[in-house]
Structure 1
Amino acid sequence: MPTDDARPQAPREPDRKQIRRWRQYLADERAEAAVYRDLASRRTGEERDILLALAEAERRHESHWLGLLGDDVGRPLRGDLRTRVLGWLARRFGSVFVLALAQRAEARSSYESDVDATATMAADERIHEEVVRGLALRGRNRISGTFRAAVFGANDGLVSNLALVLGIGASGASNATVLLTGLAGLLAGALSMAAGEYVSVRSQRELMEASTPGQHAHAALPHLDVDANELALVYRARGMSPDDAHERADQVLRSLGSTQAPAFGMPAAVDGEQAEEHDTIGTAMGAAAASFCFFASGALIPVLPYLFGVEGLAAVAIASALVGIALLGTGTAVGVLSGGPPLRRALRQLAIGYGAAGATYVLGLLFGATVS
Structure 2
Amino acid sequence: MARQEEPEGGPAPSSSTLRRWRRRLADEREAARTYRALAARRTGEEREILLGLAAAEERHVAHWEDLLGDRVGPPRRGGPRSRLLNLCARRFGWVFVLALLQRAEDRSLYEGDADASPAMAADERVHAEVVRGLAARGRARMSGTLRAAVFGANDGLVSNAALVLGVIGGGAGSQTVLLTGLSGLLAGALSMAAGEFVSVSSQRELLAASAPGGDATAPPPALDVDVNELALVYRARGMAAEEARRRADAVLRHGMPAPGALGAGGGGDEVVGSGIGAAVSSFAFFATGAAIPVLPFLAGGEGTAALVVAGVLTGIGLLLTGAVVGLLSGASPLRRALRQFAIGAAAAAATYLLGLAFGTAVG
Task: Give yes or no for TM over 0.5.
Answer: yes
- Tell me the amino acid that sits aligned with residue 321 of structure 2: T
1:221 and 1:253 in contact (8 A); partners too: no
Partner of 2:181: 182
Match of 1:264 among 238, 259, 265: 259
Which residue of 1 is the match for residue 253 of structure 2? 254
Superposed displacement of residue 207, structure 1: 1.8
SS across alignment from 2:111: helix
Residue 145 (structure 2) aligns with:
146
2: CA distance between counterparts of 1:128 and 1:276?
31
Identify the match of residue 318 of structure 2 among 310, 322, 327: 327
Contact 1:10 1:115 in 2 (8 A): no
TM-superposed CA distance for 1:239, in Å, is: 2.4
Residue 130 of structure 1, CA deviation: 1.8
> Unaligned 5+ residue runs, structure 2?
none
On the 8 A contact 1:170/1:361 being kept in 2, the answer is yes
Aligned to 1:311: 302
Equivalent residue number for residue 66 of structure 2 = 67
> Equivalent residue for 2:88?
89
- 1:305 Cα deviation after fit: 1.0
Tell me: CA distance 1:14–1:311, structure 2 relative to 1, closer, same or farther (3 Å): same
Q: Give 1:93 deviation, angstroms.
A: 3.1
Shift in CA distance, 166/345, structure 1 to aligned 2, threshold 3 Å: same
For residue 123 of structure 1, what is the aligned residue in structure 2? 122
- Report how far residue 70 of structure 1 moved: 1.7
Contact 1:154-1:296 at 8 Å conserved across structures: yes
- Write the deviation string for residues 274-332 of structure 1: whole angstroms up to 9, x where unpaired: 76775454332222111100100111110111112222222221111001111111112
Counterpart CA distance in 1 for 2:110 and 2:274 is 43
Q: Secondary structure at the match of 2:259?
A: coil
Q: Structure 1's 279 and 331: CA in aligned 2 closer, same or farther, altered over 3 A?
A: farther
Distance 1:80 1:280, change over 3 A: farther
Q: Are the counterparts in 1 of residues 164 and 180 from structure 2 also a CA contact under 8 Å?
A: yes
Question: Shift of residue 226 of structure 1?
Answer: 1.8
CA contact (8 A) 1:141 1:276 kept: no
Q: Secondary structure at the match of 1:240?
A: coil
Aligned to 1:216: 215
Structure 2 Cα separation of the partners of residues 73 and 22 of structure 1:
9
Q: CA RMSD in A?
A: 2.0
Change (3 A) 1:145 1:94: closer
Q: 1:145 to 1:275 in 2, by over 3 A?
A: farther
**Aligned residue number for residue 370 of structure 1:** 361
- Residue pairs, 1:1-372, within 5 angstroms: 11-12=6-7, 13-93=12-92, 95-256=94-255, 261-265=256-260, 267=262, 271=263, 279-372=270-363
Native 8 Å contact 1:190 1:296 kept in 2: yes
SS in 2 for 1:78: coil
TM-score (ref. length: structure 1): 0.90
- Report how many aligned residue pairs link the two structures: 358
Say whether the 8 Å CA contact 1:144–1:282 is kept in structure 2: no
Task: Quote the Cα distance in structure 1 between the aligned partners of 2:254 and 2:289.
Answer: 56
| % identical aligned pairs | 64
Determine the C-alpha separation between the residues in 1 that align with 2:119 and 2:166: 59
CA contact (8 A) 1:33 1:59 kept: yes
Report the more deviating stretch, 231-240 or 92-101.
92-101
Q: In 2, distance between residues paired with 1:123 and 1:353?
A: 42
Higher mean C-alpha deviation, range 219-228 or range 351-360:
219-228
Task: Pick which of 56-65 and 197-206 moved more.
Answer: 197-206
How far, CA to CA, are the matches of 1:323 and 1:359 in structure 2? 15
Deviations 1:52-110 (A, max 9, x none): 11111100011111111123222333212121111112122352211221222211112
CA contact (8 A) 1:107 1:126 kept: yes
Distance 1:16 1:209 in 2: 68
Q: What secondary structure sits across from 1:221 in the alignment?
A: coil
- Output the CA distance in 2 between the equivalents of 1:365 and 1:238: 57
Which amino acid letter does the alignment assign opposite residue 300 of structure 2?
A: G
Q: Contact (CA 8 Å) 2:106, 2:128: kept in 1 or not?
A: yes
Query: Within 2, Cα distance between the matches of 1:75 and 1:36?
Result: 23
2:248 and 2:258 in contact (8 A); partners too: no
With over 3 angstroms needed to count, the CA separation of the structure-2 counterparts of 1:340 and 1:280, relative to structure 1, is farther
Aligned partners of 2:93 and 2:56: how far apart in 1? 20
What are the Cα deviations for residues 12-34 of structure 1, in whole angstroms up to 9, with x where unaligned? 53222222221111111000100
Distance 1:354 1:163 in 2: 9
**CA–CA separation in structure 2 for the residues paired with 1:134 and 1:283:** 27
